[in-house]
Amino acid sequence: MEKEKAASLTKQIAVTAILLALCIASQFLKSLSVYITGPIVNLCLILAVMYAGLMWGLVLAVITPVTAFIIAASPVMTAVPGIIPLIMLGNAVLVICVHFLFKPAVKAGKLISLRSALMALVSSVAKGCIMGLTIAAWLLPTFIPAESPLRGKMHVFQEAFSVTQLLTALIGFVYFYIVFTPLKKILK
């Protein structure tokens, strides 16, 4: 029994470490497009929940915004560092939705089903709404000073932390559907 628990924990840590490495590698591509980095990070969050569990998904949800800040901090992240915990919150919402909505839908039936697709959509919308409300609607307008040159790009930042978050989460789910079956065979 103890050996099984230790083996399971080792597998969870290994899976999470590999996914974190993928997230970090993708963050070096952030300057190319958020539509490259974002879906990969979201895919890794989804995979962490599906293969390592809720706790490890939450660990990744918290670590990835910190690594993003260290590797490729955007001007808005530097100007308003309070954005980092709210990105963590958005990631955590996605992870929790995946655990309680998407994962049971996938386990209950076929991978690609109306139910799993709806749960993927709900999970993505939840992340987009949380980040849209906390970052785009509240944090940025409140904490970017009126005289800041960043004010002129407010609409771009607001879109990046609302609609773009929804879209990159959806793309992350599409990637998940593509890699789930091969990974399932490899990890058995």
123-139: per-residue pLDDT in tens? 999 999 999 999 999 99
- Mean pLDDT throughout 11-27? 96
Q: Within 10 A of 139 (CB to CB), how many other CB atoms are there?
A: 20
Q: Give DSSP secondary structure letters for the chain.
A: -HHHHHHHHHHHHHHHHHHHHHHHHHHTTTTT-HHHHHHHHHHHHHHHHHHT-HHHHHHHHHHHHHHHHHHH--HHHHH-TTHHHHHHHHHHHHHHHIIIIIHHHHHHS-SS-HHHHHHHHHHHHHHHHHHIIIIIIIIHHHHS-TTSGGGGGHHHHHHHTTHHHHHHHHHHHHHHHHHHHHHHHHH-
- pLDDT for the residue numbered 40: 98
pTM: 0.95
Give 24-38 pLDDT, tens digit per residue: 999 999 889 999 999
Q: What is the DSSP string of 165-184?
A: HHHHHHHHHHHHHHHHHHHH
Phi first, then psi: give them for residue 73, nearest 5 degrees.
Answer: -65, 130
Instruction: Give the chain's domains with CATH numbers.
Output: 2-187 (1.10.1760)
- Token reading at 147: 């005289």
